[in-house]
A and B are shown apart, each in its own frame.
Chain A
């Protein structure tokens, strides 16, 4: 059974005048690193939203471990426990420290206050920021902020990490460091990673690349076959 499976997935806006997804079929296997590429407006982010249960498809089937995702009884719980998000703009809460930001997804678990704190320290150590635990985002560099966001995405040990242009707001040096970190963690932990990117050099490092155009997947290449 695939981890995620989409069949004839569509998403329309404005009463069908805008068709973001026009029948997408693909599956994601456990432990894969999939890059989704394509020009702006091709439906990459919309697809990511569907996978993360942030939005519902207009039609088609989307399964998570064989269960219909749009019919999930508790989408918030699915997002909290099965999905880790990394955003292009980091999206850290400015009023919380690095450690506190990492603890945010853990509020939906039964971890105690001290367990949450301990876990955040472990995760920030994993991304090399154990010396920045009590720093607020405004005191961190762009690269450091994204590393905090990476730690946050792993807070509840998700099955899938969904990354939306995670290096898009970084200079080339930091982009390289952050990408290396994401890929290293994905490989070490055997976690599934789905990353939206414009950058062909990033896509080259994925185990599989889906190229989208006009709301459809126009090519699906694995690293071995490319």
Chain B
């Protein structure tokens, strides 16, 4: 028999209580996996969308929510002549409700710009010109909205026609309703209003030159921010809020897990007061008693972590398939996230076991002779 066997047997002496504690930890850890996986997935999917369009720099307003606040389209004319800029594309992007879908990306793009070039027709056709009352739908958007070529679609107060279904090379592109910028501006009566300028740099542009370009843009137009793809999301207030909320909720769930494990381990120590005294009387050192309790709580954390990561991963996949978020994100279930979540669970176990372990080490071996 190894020391680990003693630890495992100790944990399974109360199978119902241990199982309930495991359930508690695993719910906390699955919340970490689900919430952080979804928020990271949202960010990565958005980045992938920008990449698919061949964007190197994103110019947007310094303030705004999930989508940036609109600004005047003339900004593009002020920056277009700067060095290293090969092409630009004005956009007005909104995350809004369209018909029965509560969260849908409405992406209005400057007609004829490079932002249309990544779209590959699956069926139907592209709009004929910037003013045709038509949209193309990403494949997922078409599924979520249950639309096919020729169907009408209500955008704000106007009824447009779905003329094509496209593949965009990224989840958010496939989940978007895409139309001409001029058309959306007309529908919204917001002439010349955009909220994003995608910039494609010349092929030989270095990272350093891109950074210099972004500084030049900001000097030229102080109310906007020009950032690279990765910076774009880390500066976005909406994404920052999603990230903060997902971690805060996760931490709360983890805290509940800590209290659950600590309660279980304290009850274990109280129940086994006499048994621990006997072990001390039989020559076990206080260090070994501390290790026994800490290993039990760490094992509880590890098992809860494995269970939680599994539940979280399955849950995220199920959630990503629901119509509410489908097309908005591809969940990020990277090995690092799953590993960190499992490590958090073990840390929860160890942290929760510290006080019970200390309590157990303070027990007097003389209690062994007092009944039990």
Contacts and interface: CB of A to CB of B under 8 A. Distances in A.
Interface stretch (B156-164, B202-210, B360-368): B360-368
B284 A76 contact: yes
Contacts of B364: 54-55
B6 interface: yes
Given A79-B282, A85-B281, A85-B282, A107 B366 contact: no
Interface in B305-337: none
B372 A49 contact: no
A48 B369 contact: yes
A54 B1 contact: no
Contact of A113 (B2, B278, B280, B282): B2
Contacts of B288: 107-108
Given A45-B369, A55-B366, A76 B1 contact: no
A79 B369 contact: no
Given A96-B6, A107-B288, A113-B1, A54 B369 contact: yes
Contact of B275 (A76, A77, A93, A105): A93
Interface string A93-116: 111100110011101100001001
7 contacts: A76-B280, A85-B281, A95-B10, A100-B5, A105-B283, A108-B283, A113-B1
Contact of A108 (B274, B284, B366, B372): B284
A32 interface: no
Given A95-B13, A108-B283, A103 B1 contact: yes
Nearest to A91: B278
B1 A52 contact: no
Contacts of B12: 95
Contact of A105 (B6, B10, B282, B369): B282
A76 B368 contact: no
Contacts of A54: 280-281, 364-366, 368-369
B279 interface: yes
A95 B5 CA distance: 10
B146 interface: no
Interface string A108-126: 1000010011000000000
Contact of A152 (B2, B3, B282, B372): B282
Given A54-B364, A77-B285, A108-B288, 7 more contacts: A48-B369, A80-B284, A91-B275, A91-B372, A100-B6, A156-B283, A164-B369
A87 interface: yes
Interface in B1-36: 1-3, 5-6, 9-10, 12-13
A81 interface: yes
A80 B282 contact: yes
A89 interface: yes
Interface string A44-57: 01001100101100
A79 B278 contact: no
A216 B281 CA distance: 25
Residue of B281, B283, B284 ringed by the most chain A CB atoms within 10 A = B283
Residue of B2, B6, B282 ringed by the most chain A CB atoms within 10 A = B282
A43 B246 CA distance: 62
Nearest to B11: A95
Interface string B83-108: 00000000000000000000000000
Contacts of A77: 283, 285
B69 interface: no
Contacts of B9: 93, 95-96
B369 A117 contact: no
A91 B368 contact: yes
Interface string A70-91: 0000001101110101010101
A137 to B, nearest CB: 12
A73 B294 CA distance: 25
B286 interface: yes
A124 B286 CA distance: 28
A42 to B, nearest CB: 14
